[in-house]
Structure 1
Amino acid sequence: MERIGDNFKVVSAGSIEELGRVTLHEQLSLTGSEISVNELPAGVTVPFVHAHRQNEEVYIILNGKGTFYVDGDEFAVEAGDVVRIDPAGARCITASPEDSIRFICIQTAANSLVQFTQDDGVPVEVKPSWFK
């Protein structure tokens, strides 16, 4: 599926299970963040530890269990957990030996948020078809 309007773009990310990782930067023409959807099969790890120059990352665990490594600290994560890591944090993630792990990773420049949703959202006078 792909649909493009003046102020939106919709794409199909495909089968995350088959692809393992889908980055959405180019597919969605993102200008303020990078988003990837990731799946590590049971017992599989990201094969490197990394940090960033300027991007903080937020990991949202959707399914499964695994272990994070951040600056020498190792901790378990599971569905529903959310992890934020500063750019300088040395990080890596692995799926548990028994269970795959699926997560979304969002990258954005640290300290770049100008407004939160409460201050940035403005009501408009149009209504979708399901509003009665």
Structure 2
Amino acid sequence: MSEIKIIGKGEKYAHASVGMMETINSKLFLKEQIDATSCEISFGSLPSGAAVPFFHSHSHDEEIYIILSGHGRFQVDNEVFDIAEGSVIRVATNCDRNLKCTSSPCPMTYICIQAKENSLNEYTLTDAQITERSNLL
């Protein structure tokens, strides 16, 4: 069974591991484990032929699914499309979503990132500053 292992925490960081991707056999939520304040991150795995057992919708948060292995089908409201390793799917608020694994015999493993829709004001180079520091790597 998969579990989140806390490797270390400092004043400005948290370091955790979900282990090998092929050992994930459920849904693992990281927000509380890593003290995240801006988003929820989860790792999920669906065995061949399985779907998430319910549709769901979010009022305030969009979700981004990143398919790490396997393939399947994704449904947003009444639209259904194929997904596979490397697929990245953004789902807006106030719509139903679900996914199903169609790869056989391999499971479909994915990451889901949930964050408040329209909350990203600055990103990449607009929010980064190059700093001077001794490289200890």
Per-residue CA deviation, residues 24-49 of structure 1 (Å, 9 max, x unaligned), is: 01100010100001111111110111
Please state how far the C-alpha of 1:12 moved relative to its aligned partner: 2.1
- 1:111-126 matches, within 5 Å, as 111-126=118-133
Structure 2's unaligned 5+ residue stretches are 1-5
2:88 corresponds in structure 1 to 82
Query: Which stretch shows the higher mean deviation, 88-97 or 24-33?
Result: 88-97
Structure 1's unaligned 5+ residue stretches are none
1:67 corresponds in structure 2 to 73
Query: Measured at CA, do residues 100 and 19 of structure 1 come closer, stay the same or move farther in structure 2, by a change above 3 Å?
Result: closer
- Runs of 4+ residues deviating >4 angstroms: none
Please state how far the C-alpha of 1:14 moved relative to its aligned partner: 4.2
Query: Which stretch shows the higher mean deviation, 98-107 or 10-19?
Result: 10-19
Please state how far the C-alpha of 1:88 moved relative to its aligned partner: 1.1
Per-residue CA deviation, residues 109-129 of structure 1 (Å, 9 max, x unaligned), is: 001111011110111111333
For these two proteins, the number of residue pairs brought into alignment is: 130
Q: Does 1:8 align with 2:13?
A: yes
Q: Structure 1: which amino acid aligns with 2:120?
A: L
| % identity of equivalent residues | 34
Contact 2:40 2:115 survives alignment (8 Å): yes
- 1:1-132 matches, within 5 Å, as 1-14=6-19, 17-96=23-102, 98=104, 99-130=106-137
Per-residue CA deviation, residues 64-103 of structure 1 (Å, 9 max, x unaligned), is: 0010010111111000110000011210000005241111
TM-score normalised by the chain length of structure 1: 0.91
Q: Structure 2: which amino acid aligns with 1:46?
A: V
Structure (1/2) with the larger helix percentage: 1
TM-score normalised by the chain length of structure 2: 0.88
